[in-house]
Copies of this chain bind each other. A is one copy, B any other.
Amino acid sequence: MIVTINYRDKRPIYKQITDSIKEQILSGVLKPDEQLTSVRQLAMEININPNTIAKAYAELERSGIIYSAMGRGYFVNNDLSEAYKMREAEISKTLCQCVGNAVQCGMSKEKVIDVIEKAYAEIEEREREKE
C-alpha cells in the first residue's frame, strides 16, 4: 500500500490519505480482505501524526470501503458494490454540473465531447506506453 502526501495539495492530509486508499481499492490494487498498513506503521512511514491516519481510516470505514477488526487492524471490504455505486453517482453528478456550466458560458457540446474523447485518448496512450 503506497500513500504519498503532497504538502502543497490544498486537500487536508486526512483527505489525501482517504482519496489515495479509496483509489487503490476501487481500482483493484488492494484486494478484498487485504489488510491495510496499521495506523502506527503508516504514521511512521509517511511521517504523519497517528491521529490524522486514524481519522482517515475511520472515514473509510464510515463509507463502507474498509472494516476494522478490534485489535487486529483494518481490512478491505468484501462487498464494494455499494462503494462503486456511490462513486459512479458522484462522477455522474460532477459531469452534469460540468455540462450545466459549459452551456451557461457558451462552450459548445462538440467542445465538451471533444475534451472527453481527448481525455480517453490520453489515458489509452499512457496505458500503451506502460506495456
Question: Which residues of chain B have C-beta atoms less than 8 A from A115's C-beta?
Answer: 91-92, 95-96
Q: Are A120 and B95 in contact (CB under 8 A)?
A: no
Question: Which residues of chain B have C-beta atoms less than 8 A from A102's C-beta?
Answer: 88, 91
Size bin of chain A's contact surface: 35 or more
Pick from B72, B87, B112: contact of A101, CB under 8 Å: B87
Q: Are B12 and A70 in contact (CB under 8 A)?
A: yes
Q: Are B23 and A104 in contact (CB under 8 A)?
A: yes
Q: Are A104 and B70 in contact (CB under 8 A)?
A: no
Q: Are B99 and A116 in contact (CB under 8 A)?
A: yes
How many Å from the CB of A51 to the closest CB on chain B? 9
Pick from B94, B104, B113: contact of A94, CB under 8 Å: B94
Pick from B67, B92, B99, B113: contact of A123, CB under 8 Å: B99
A122 to B119, CA, bound (A): 24
Interface of A with B (CB < 8 Å)? 7-8, 12, 23, 26-27, 62, 67, 69-72, 75, 84, 87-88, 91-92, 94-96, 98-107, 109, 111-113, 115-116, 119-120, 122-123
